[in-house]
Amino acid sequence: MAAPPARARADYDYLIKLLLIGDSGVGKSCLLLRFSDGSFTTNFITTIGIDFKIRTIELKGKRIKLQIWDTAGQERFRTITTDITNWIRNIELHASNNVNKILVGNKTDMDESKRSAKTNLNVEQVFMSIAKDIKQMLSDTDSKAKPSTIKINQPDAGAGGGQPGQKSSCCGS
């Protein structure tokens, strides 16, 4: 998911919101912690509801603020977490047509030393890849938008505007 560019903000060019979804224990929080803080913990800490972290990256000269939301996967939150087939179906039914999706296998069936969040294997590439795709989509949208011009205080010849001594109603001048 992505928000439109926040032009008024000086600290970033784009704000992109990402949502990590999946069943309990698949490693969503570990991926987020590894990407946002560069750390990993073997302690299993259950996410209650939703948590998020922020990391700002740079892509092709643009500062992109990633706001990454981590959802709970426990049974009691089953209304927001299900298996992959149901996740994809829900995304297709409820998200906009142009939403970006990426499937990450965090806890592979390999030995423990090759698990991605633990070893940082491709974690950076996963987040950078989706950020790059969304940034490109937003850049394309920005370039297609036509700028609008607003003319302020232009005399209207048909209404007798622009006569000497007439004051403008704009800005009290």
153 inside domain: no
- 92-151 pLDDT tens trace: 888 888 888 888 877 765 566 656 778 888 899 999 999 999 999 988 887 777 565 666
In 10 A of CB 130, how many CB atoms? 18
**What does the pLDDT average to over 74-78?**
51
> CATH no. for residue 93?
3.40.50.300
d(CA 151, CA 93): 43
Domain with 20, as residue range(s), is 14-144
What is the pLDDT confidence band of residue 53, given thresholds at 50, 70 and 90?
A: very high
* Residue 93: its H or E element: helix 84-94
Number of domains making up the chain = 1
d(CA 11, CA 7): 10
Tell me the pTM.
0.64
Could you tell me the end-to-end alpha-carbon distance of the chain, in angstroms, rounded to an integer? 45
Give strand pairing partners of 58.
63
138 inside domain: yes
In 10 A of CB 55, how many CB atoms? 16
Give the three-state DSSP class for 21: coil
35 inside domain: yes
Higher pLDDT pick, 165 / 139 = 139
77 inside domain: yes
81 inside domain: yes
